[in-house]
Structure 1
Amino acid sequence: MRVIFMGTPDFAVPALHALHAAGHDIVAVYTQPPRPAGRGKALRASPVHQAADKLGLPVRHPVSLRKNTEEWAVFDGFQADVAVVAAYGLILPQSMLDTPRLGCLNIHASLLPRWRGASPIQSAILAGDTESGVTIMQMEAGLDTGPMLLRGAVPITSQTTATSLHDALSALGGSLVVRTLTETPLPTPQPEDGVTYAQKLTREDGRINWQESASAIDRRIRALTPWPGTFTVLNDGMIIKIGAATPLPQFHHTARPGTLLDNTLTVACGEGAVRLTRLQKPGRGMMEAEAFLRGHSIPAGTVLLTAQDDDAPSAHSK
């Protein structure tokens, strides 16, 4: 088939490779424009852009598609059978949705209708879901509301992180979209029951509230690492990023949530405790707890601030 591929981040790259390997004629790749990155703020092409260049595929990166009639005409001129969209980052106007012969297909990283929206991977872990997956759906004007073509599921365990789930769903999305173009399954409307929405994440979502249970805090750390990252605040105002922790849900204590219970970074939670195993202080890289403590001792009895504390700074204050 003649395919237009539209995607930007690492999540979309396996699907581009899978479509290319399956022999489809990828007539154009749409992606976000190069952005400043790194300390030097040099322009860096998106992961999809870089992958397309290596495959020798033509790339387009309009800044906007809204009212961009010139780009609509270019899109129509490709005479594509289908457009495949995976985390592209721009909203397609109806005129573009209607252009390909078979419409536009979206690779969505959840089992729709659960977790429509911007952060389905993180939201599934945060909520304690036992499975996630990928849905290939036909795109329409609504937010992830189109009829479903294929779905595939993967388990979420107590060890699942946003990174590991991202990688599993990224690979699954590539295989499912190739199957969709081969098998052309009949579309199934999404059920009305079970609809949930995954909101766009901010840095403040990563603030640890020690009044939550150990299990909930563990899920937050696993769900929000590496982005937007989780953090806590020492009583001297220093923001400490948390990369990993071990939950101790049965740990009994009577301490105020956020209190260091020992000298090995075991922190009291609203229920149970967690032991911090990877941390990062300002200006340094992420490190194991033992290495962190060699350079910055935090004695038992220290209280880590929560979102409810009046003197707790924001994620941007340090």
Structure 2
Amino acid sequence: MVDTPPQKGAKQRIVFMGSPAFAIPTLDHLVKTHEVCAVYSQPAKKSGRGMKTMSVPVAAYADAAGLPIFTPANLKSAEIESQLASYNADLFVVVAYGLLLPATILTIPRFGCLNGHASLLPRWRGAAPIQRAIQAGDSKTGISAMIMETGLDTGPVVGVRQTAISKHDNAASLHDRLADLTAECLGAVIDGAPNSLASPIPQANDGIIYAAKISSAEAMIDWQQPADVLDCHIRAFAPYPGAWCFGPKGRLRILEASPMAMPAVPQTAAPKVAPAGSFLGKTADGAMIIACGQDALKITKVQPAGKTSMTASDFLNGSALAISAFLHPETSPENK
């Protein structure tokens, strides 16, 4: 249960928990305005083709800032619980930590555990709220600051920031904007205004949607879908894992595209009605035009397998893609 909220301007003793780059603006803000007595992040993991150990962004920031940093695999031990209690913290602030906090830990800090979640709760609870909001074609999203409970993103809300999702936003641009909004939102709450910790607002029982973790498999493009749906799909998975299909020389990631009206099919093309997934030619500025289930996509940036990203114009110059060629799994050399 939350006690008397912090007064505006009072420095709070904070244990910060976060892992990816998304959490760094909030940690940076708290270091400058409050007393961060310890930082917890996920342990470093091996990844990539060389299985190199990659540092966790929050851990790297904390180390450079001279903050005590701990990277336990989980928080389920009595030793960890005792360690956290020893800080006598006012708040535990959690941003994209990636580990569950047991119920016994939620009650340790004086004012409770405060979480910054990248959606307008209760919409998009869960692991991938940024990608799912873009994929669904949402016109807006935001940050919810909530008092943590044992349920997944179910806690009452004490602060909100909203932002529009533009037709040009992808997961990367929205990620960066929301990271800054998280710092702003949590900073205001911790400072005690405008919404105090004493007056949390329970989440609505309707409008609950879960944002499942994304995967490379689901990023595959289904050209039978309308162009506006695929536009959202491509932006949601850019830059990672990247929406993809198969070109004449293997897997092709589509990084930037926009919907357009279906152009007239060239007289040399057959059949006269272009099937979804067929290459219809290029625009005056060199972009690829691909037929969709409804309308077409103008593709401006791609990444062929084993290569760096490039403009669609450069890709076409090096691929000799024929009019009416198909971007389908069946056309991949791997499937012949």
TM-score scaled by structure 2?
Answer: 0.87
Which runs of structure 2 are paired with 1:54-65 in the superposition (5 Å)? 54-65=64-75
CA contact (8 A) 1:205 1:228 kept: no
> How far off is 1:237 after superposition?
6.7
Instruction: Find out whether 1:175 has 2:204 as its counterpart.
Output: no
Q: Percent identity at matched positions?
A: 39
Q: Relative to structure 1, is the Cα distance of residues 210 and 30 closer, same or farther in structure 2, using a 3 angstrom cutoff? A: same
> How far off is 1:36 after superposition?
2.3
Cα deviation per residue 1:214-264 (whole Å; 9 max; x = unaligned)? 111111111111122110113x57111111112114656631110111155
CA contact (8 A) 2:289 2:297 kept: yes
Relative to structure 2, which stretch is displaced further, 239-248 or 260-269? 260-269
Of the candidates 215, 220, 231, which is equivalent to residue 228 of structure 2?
Answer: 215
In structure 1, distance between residues paired with 2:108 and 2:249: 55
Of the candidates 313, 318, 329, which is equivalent to residue 290 of structure 1?
Answer: 313
Which runs of structure 2 are paired with 1:43-54 in the superposition (5 Å)? 43-54=53-64
Q: 1:11 aligns to what SS in structure 2?
A: helix
CA contact (8 A) 2:288 2:313 kept: no
Instruction: Find out whether 1:245 has 2:257 as its counterpart.
Output: yes
Which runs of structure 2 are paired with 1:109-124 in the superposition (5 Å)? 109-124=118-133
CA contact (8 A) 2:289 2:296 kept: yes
Of the candidates 72, 75, 79, which is equivalent to residue 81 of structure 2?
Answer: 72
- Partner in structure 2 of residue 154 of structure 1: 163
In structure 1, distance between residues paired with 2:262 and 2:188: 45
The one-letter amino acid of 1:144's match is D
- Partner in structure 1 of residue 143 of structure 2: 134
CA contact (8 A) 1:215 1:249 kept: no
Instruction: Find out whether 1:256 has 2:279 as its counterpart.
Output: no
- Partner in structure 1 of residue 240 of structure 2: 227
Cα deviation per residue 1:115-134 (whole Å; 9 max; x = unaligned)? 00111001111111110100
Cα deviation per residue 1:5-51 (whole Å; 9 max; x = unaligned)? 000001000000011111x1111100011122455433232110111
CA contact (8 A) 1:76 1:99 kept: yes
Count of matched residue positions in the alignment of Structure 1 and Structure 2:
308
Cα deviation per residue 1:271-296 (whole Å; 9 max; x = unaligned)? 10002211111211010112112221
Runs of 5+ consecutive residues of structure 2 not aligned to the other structure? 1-11, 266-272
The one-letter amino acid of 1:196's match is I
TM-score scaled by structure 1?
Answer: 0.92
> How far off is 1:209 after superposition?
0.5
Cα deviation per residue 1:163-190 (whole Å; 9 max; x = unaligned)? 1111111000001111101123410000
The one-letter amino acid of 2:105's match is M
Please identify the structure whose Cα radius of gyration is greater. 2
The one-letter amino acid of 2:297's match is V
| Superposition misfits of 4+ residues, deviation over 2 angstroms | 36-44, 249-254
Q: CA RMSD in A?
A: 1.8
Q: Relative to structure 1, is the Cα distance of residues 29 and 304 closer, same or farther in structure 2, using a 3 angstrom cutoff? A: same
In structure 1, distance between residues paired with 2:331 and 2:240: 21
The one-letter amino acid of 1:149's match is V
In structure 2, distance between residues paired with 1:139 and 1:269: 43
> How far off is 1:145 after superposition?
0.4
